[in-house]
Amino acid sequence: MAKAILIGAGVGGLATAIRLAKKGYTVEVFEANNYIGGKLSTFTLGDYRFDAGPSLFTMPKFVEELFTLCGENASDSFQYKRKDIACTYFWEDGKTLTAYGDTKRFVEEVEEKLAVPAKTLNRYLSKAKKKFDRTQPLFLERSLHKWQTFLRKETLVGIAKYFSFEIDTSLNSVNQAHLQEPHLVQFYNRFATYNGSNPYQTPGMMTLVQHLEQHYGTYIPKKGMGDISASLYELAKRQGVIFHLSASVDKIIVENKKAVGIQVNETEHHADIVVSNMDVVPTYRKLLTHQKQPEKILSQERSSSAVIFYWGMGKSFPQLDLHNIFFSDDYKAEFDAIFKTKTLFEDPTVYVNITSKDVPADAPKGKENWFVMINAPHDTGQDWEELAQELRQWVMNKLNRILDTDIAPLIEEEWIMTPNIIEARTQSYLGALYGASSNNKMAAFLRHPNFSREISNLYFCGGSVHPGGGIPLCLLSAKIVADLTPTP
């Protein structure tokens, strides 16, 4: 039987392993850490449980699809619920906005709180939907790097509508033109951060990102985000996938321009195909050192990273929900700091995720587990220990002002994740959360393909390659890889 080796047990690697096993491969996964999930993992601090990384769950159908593929009912192993409120938003001037999952209710909220006419927002949302519908077949479901993709009818239709994508202007410019109201413009600019980009640089077609959240909804697994990885891990094992943890791969073995296996601790493991779920840059720099390096791709600007404070809070805050955003007063200056001067901004936008709102076991009764994330530049050698301590005070000052409280005495447990730690734990190059940024209008085409042009039988999945970062896109990368690989 043909054999496939996967490098990395992140969510993209888990999904790829499942699909290849179902396709008929014998599959083995080698993971450097002693746990699975990559960024999508969990840990505890005292009596508090935390999801280490991605906190937003959209399009659960891509997870369910894997169970269906294997002839199982997803709800028997993995359960989740839809949120009525996607996120609550706070501004320093006292404005608040509740992003209801129900579009009609959300439009009414915007009209009431921000005085933006319903017809204005509905027109904006309709345009975003059209962009998504036209680009999904091209950008999300198939390889952008195979000529057959461009001969499909839906692809040709999408290309014919090129100018409707607003690709030649920035997301901020599009939002300014269509919405004007400053709070709402900032609200929709934020969606650039979903792939680690700058709204003042990333193209206007990125308005389609918010369509995923508003149209398809936001969800929370009943056992927390880590249950996505845990459930897929168990599903993979039921398909016969073998996992090797604490097994750091040293080399991808290439013979006659063909990947034939890997080397781990001087032991060779041979296979018919090799798939890397590792960030594409260290895959080449560390595992393919004697092979031609795709320098143009590897040298692309990296996405943003993050500083995350994990706080066990000795109090509950009824005005907060699962997802909460506290906006900066100067969004442009914040993104200039992140992408131009490569530092943190003293008035940052603060994201607070509290899974105990929906998963009560995540914190003791009357208390909450706060995942406090601030967008940050990727690691270029900054003194992160010093910066994190400065940021900690800036964040507490902001939360104290808006929530009219004193945060510091409430923190019972704490751990801080910085870009250099993210890189060390996940092999994400420079700690960038989404691989390359999408600040270039051709960024979607410039991502590394899901296969190697130089080395046969070598494939790539995960957030650093096509179609991009985030749970849904990582799961789609697995589907693309499975479609590209030969049937054994």
pLDDT in tens, 378-401: 999 999 999 999 999 999 999 999
Q: Which residues of 36-70 are buried (b: 16+ CB within 10 A; e: fewer)?
A: bbbbbbbeeeeebbbbbbbbbbbbbebbbbbbebb
Looking at residue 438, what is its pLDDT? 80
Which element (helix H / strand E) includes 226?
helix 226-238
Q: Which domain holds residue 189?
A: 107-209
pLDDT in tens, 65-113: 999 999 999 999 999 999 999 999 999 999 999 999 999 999 999 999 9
Looking at residue 443, what is its pLDDT? 61
Give the Cα separation of 462 and 480 in Å (integer).
11
Per-residue pLDDT band at 21 (split at 50, 70, 90): very high
Helices in 70-207 by DSSP H: which ranges?
103-114, 118-135, 153-160, 171-178, 182-189
Average the pLDDT over 411-436 and give the result.
Answer: 96
Q: Indicate whether 418 belongs to any domain.
A: no
pLDDT in tens, 351-362: 999 999 999 999
111 and 201: one domain? yes
Return the percentage of the chain with pLDDT > 90, whole number. 83
Secondary structure class of 47 (helix, strand, coil): coil
Average pLDDT, the chain: 92
From 180, 209, 238, the end of a domain falls on 209
145 and 178: one domain? yes
Average the pLDDT over 190-202 and give the result.
Answer: 93
Give the Cα separation of 207 and 214 in Å (integer).
11
201 and 238: one domain? no
Sheet of 305-313: strands edge to edge?
96-100, 85-90, 323-326, 350-353, 368-376, 305-313, 411-417
Q: Indicate whether 176 belongs to any domain.
A: yes
Q: Report whether pLDDT(409) > 80.
A: yes
144 and 230: one domain? no
259 and 287: one domain? yes
Q: Indicate whether 84 belongs to any domain.
A: no
Q: Report whether pLDDT(138) > 90.
A: no
Q: Do residues 280 and 409 make contact, with C-beta atoms less than 8 angstroms apart?
A: no
Give the Cα separation of 230 and 310 in Å (integer).
21
Average the pLDDT over 149-154 and give the result.
Answer: 46
229 and 204: one domain? no
Q: Indicate whether 175 belongs to any domain.
A: yes
Q: Indicate whether 83 belongs to any domain.
A: no
Choice between 412 and 449, residue whose per-residue pLDDT is larger: 412
Looking at residue 139, what is its pLDDT? 61
Per-residue pLDDT band at 213 (split at 50, 70, 90): confident
Q: Report whether pLDDT(165) > 70.
A: no
201 and 230: one domain? no
Per-residue pLDDT band at 163 (split at 50, 70, 90): very low
Return the percentage of the chain with pLDDT > 70, whole number. 92
Per-residue pLDDT band at 216 (split at 50, 70, 90): confident
Q: Indicate whether 469 belongs to any domain.
A: yes
**Angle, alpha carbons 112-118-122 (nearest 5°):** 135
From 162, 181, 209, the end of a domain falls on 209
Choice between 368 and 212, residue whose per-residue pLDDT is larger: 368
Strands 80-82 and 218-221: antiparallel
In total, how many domains does the chain have?
Answer: 2
181 and 126: one domain? yes
Angle between helices 118-135 and 208-216 (to 10 degrees): 100
Q: Indicate whether 134 belongs to any domain.
A: yes
From 161, 182, 209, the end of a domain falls on 209
List, in sequence order, every residue forming a beta bridge with 350; answer none if it has no partner: 326
Sequence-distant contacts of 83-86: CB under 8 A, at least 24 apart: 83/217, 83/218, 83/219, 83/220, 83/321, 83/322, 83/323, 83/358, 85/321, 85/322, 85/323, 86/213, 86/214, 86/217, 86/218, 86/323
Secondary structure class of 265 (helix, strand, coil): coil
Q: Indicate whether 455 belongs to any domain.
A: yes
Give the Cα separation of 178 and 29 in Å (integer).
47
CA dihedral (158, 159, 164, 168) in degrees, to 10, reads: 140
CATH number for the domain including 234? 3.50.50.60
Q: Report whether pLDDT(284) > 50.
A: yes
Per-residue pLDDT band at 419 (split at 50, 70, 90): very high
**341: which residues sit within 8 A by CB, 6+ positions away?**
none
